[in-house]
Structure 1
Amino acid sequence: MKRYFNTPFFIRLFNWEYWNSTIVYAPIYPYYAWLALKARSFMFLTAANPLIKNGGFIMESKKDVYDLIPPQYYPATLYFEAGTPLEIVSRGIEEKSLTFPLIAKPDIGERGLAVKKVNNVAELEQYITHMPFAFLVQEFVSYENEVGIFYCKPPGAARGFISGIVNKEPVTIVGDGLSTLEQLVRVNPRYLLQLDHIAAQQGEQMRSVLPVGESLVLVPYGNHSRGSKFTDHTHRATDKLNESIDRICSQIPQFYYGRLDVRFLSWEALERGENISIIEVNGSGSEPTHIYDPEHSLLFAWKEIIRHWDLLYSISKENNRRGVKYIKLSALRSDINAFKQIDASLSARVW
């Protein structure tokens, strides 16, 4: 019976964190509609971060967002248009003094889609060949710890604050000296959902056996959709950490609402704002991803989403009062369609 229920269908059925977002959000969409009615715009969220395209709701360029961040806080990054020859990419890497492994990812995208750790020139060439859109090549940050820190700052306020922290545990296998990688993946419900992707990445190594106690990171990205376990660490939002994050975010012009994905050496260093690297900054389309802690109920998730929608509404409303225009849904239609095409195209490929 246990083996019967350890299948992707039942894992998803009995764990809401894997449900389709439309199903999760459907019961609380009326609340968003109420906020939109008060704002007199369904797309009020586009005013949250005036210097980020669409407020960071959709189709924002990662490169453009990085350009707003002081360079000491994010990995060295190169931007390339689709179809850029390998020799030009390699030249840029050399000029930037970057070394393998590197991270390659699309300039526009979400949920960790098409993000890949490339270990050598051959893997980089393969990525470039398969990538039909503009992409980034980025320094690989080796810090083992990764969190998502949700930050809010009312326009005009002296300080911002942390509204949520999620700790990200990447897909990591620990050997028992007997089981193959595939067997170890299959017995872990969270990892089983990623089996096809992991198998495509690991190839023949899936048949290998790790020695007892030896660990192997199979997916080195802190993305829930790629198998990472998310746990709620909001209790770590100390005054000292709030001060450090506010000091950093205050250097990002007109950034009022969103989530920072951060890799860091230790919690003590993070509190000091040292030995950290901001992997990405997400704007008004951000989720408070600490809701995906397996210990949290769906009711908790709804409460947290609504709390953040309230914050988003008040920030956007104040920016609008200060002259930032809400983008009309009709004007966004082409961006929404373009994003759907990008998402579909990237999802259809094996990365």
Structure 2
Amino acid sequence: MRLFIHKVFNWEYWPFGLVYFPIFFLWTYYAIKAKTIFFFNAANPKIKNGGFINESKIEIYDLIPQQYYPKTLFVKGKSSFDLVINKLNESGQQFPLIAKPDMGLRGNAVKKVNSIEELKSYHEKADFDFLIQDVIPYENEVGIFYVKLPNESKGKITGIVAKEFLIVEGDGKSTIEELIKKNPRFELQLSALKKEYKEKLLKVLLQGEKLNLVPYGNHARGAKFIDASHLISDKLTQVIEEISSNISEFYFGRFDIMYNTFEELENGQNFSIVELNGSGSEPTHIYDPKHSIFFAWKELARHIGYMYKIGQHNHNRGFKFLNHKEGMKEYREHNECLAKIVTI
């Protein structure tokens, strides 16, 4: 009951359909103007479906200059594990590694694998294409939303979200599970954490000892999102502009970036792109607990407006919108893939 009340009074936990209900009317308005509900694909013409549905992460990584993201290996679903090991040896990647679906869904099936045995277990359960990626050696993470009109020479940052990971700190007497239960945000993840950590949750951490239970900044996996849009600066914008200018026909989306210090990030040093999300991106700074649902609706409407305007510009340049038949086919394939991912 305590957790239920916490979710009711914190809109960030409300069901997707409830949060986005007013936005559906705005989407309908833009769909009527575009003559298709699938107008999002033209926002980023070189990314499949603009990055909204049925997109491939490895195809997006392939658009980004390699120096900006960690070494990444693509694994075809249900391929031979011996083949996976051979490719891993050829790549020179070392454990620990991150395994994640080639098509993502809010952090589902993203796991840190520490050994060949753990990777084999993941591979056996994965009925989908997935990636094996080096662990990024930086502790901090931000999501930086970038938009650019095709007829303009430069884009802009429209929002920044900082992320606090699911980290517990020991008191010398409480088990990890007991520490988790002291924070409603963390306790909501307890069922998933029990599956992953099992009896390890019974360990007592020393006074001041910290443990990061989910080493990636995903809201659905317990990370706290904080609006850090005040950190937008000319220097940071220039860094993001430099990256974006090297990604063919990219105009709308969110860079999830891990970095050492913010000063270094502003100087274009010691950072790595975790993911680039296209037209399906949310301006995730809205999930800061200090923001009301009305702020969220305003920001969602603002960004969907950008997406439509960019898509219309690209449509006028010759990039066609998906028609209904094409869009529904992509949507069905997207849902079929996601159904496999959520059951791992």
Structure 1: gaps of 5 or more residues: none
Residue aligning to 2:149: 154
Kept in 1: contact 2:38–2:327 (CA 8 A): no
Residue aligning to 1:326: 321
Q: Which of the residues 297, 302, 318 maps onto 1:302?
A: 297
Kept in 2: contact 1:166–1:233 (CA 8 A): yes
Kept in 2: contact 1:109–1:342 (CA 8 A): no
The runs of at least 4 consecutive aligned structure 1 residues that moved more than 6 Å come to none
Instruction: Report percent identity of matched pairs.
Output: 48
**TM norm structure 2:** 0.98
Alignment-mate amino acid for residue 231 of structure 1: I
SS at match of 1:38: helix
Kept in 2: contact 1:155–1:318 (CA 8 A): yes
Residue aligning to 1:67: 62
- How do residues 247-266 of structure 1 correspond to structure 2 at under 5 angstroms? 247-266=242-261
Residue aligning to 1:38: 33
Q: Which of the residues 163, 169, 174 maps onto 1:174?
A: 169
How far is the alpha carbon of 1:338 from its aligned partner? Answer: 2.0
SS at match of 2:20: helix
Residue aligning to 1:232: 227
How far is the alpha carbon of 1:147 from its aligned partner? Answer: 0.8
Residue aligning to 1:6: 2
Kept in 2: contact 1:179–1:209 (CA 8 A): yes
Alignment-mate amino acid for residue 99 of structure 2: A
How far is the alpha carbon of 1:110 from its aligned partner? Answer: 2.0
Kept in 2: contact 1:169–1:228 (CA 8 A): yes
Residue aligning to 1:57: 52
Residue aligning to 1:132: 127
Q: How many aligned positions are there? A: 344
Kept in 2: contact 1:153–1:160 (CA 8 A): yes
Give CA-to-partner distance per residue, 1:244-288, whole Å, 9 cap, x none. 111111100000000111111110111112111111111111110
Does 2:159 match 1:164? yes
Q: Which of the residues 337, 341, 344 maps onto 1:346?
A: 341
Kept in 2: contact 1:53–1:60 (CA 8 A): yes
Q: Which of the residues 193, 201, 209 maps onto 1:206?
A: 201
How far is the alpha carbon of 1:106 from its aligned partner? Answer: 1.1
Residue aligning to 1:110: 105
Give CA-to-partner distance per residue, 1:62-96, whole Å, 9 cap, x none. 11000000000011011111122222222222222
Distance 2:336 2:211 in 1: 34
**TM norm structure 1:** 0.96
Kept in 1: contact 2:128–2:341 (CA 8 A): no
Distance 1:201 1:195 in 2: 10
Residue aligning to 1:100: 95
Distance 2:84 2:164 in 1: 31
Does 2:238 match 1:243? yes
Alignment-mate amino acid for residue 2 of structure 2: N
Kept in 1: contact 2:172–2:207 (CA 8 A): yes
Structure 2: gaps of 5 or more residues: none
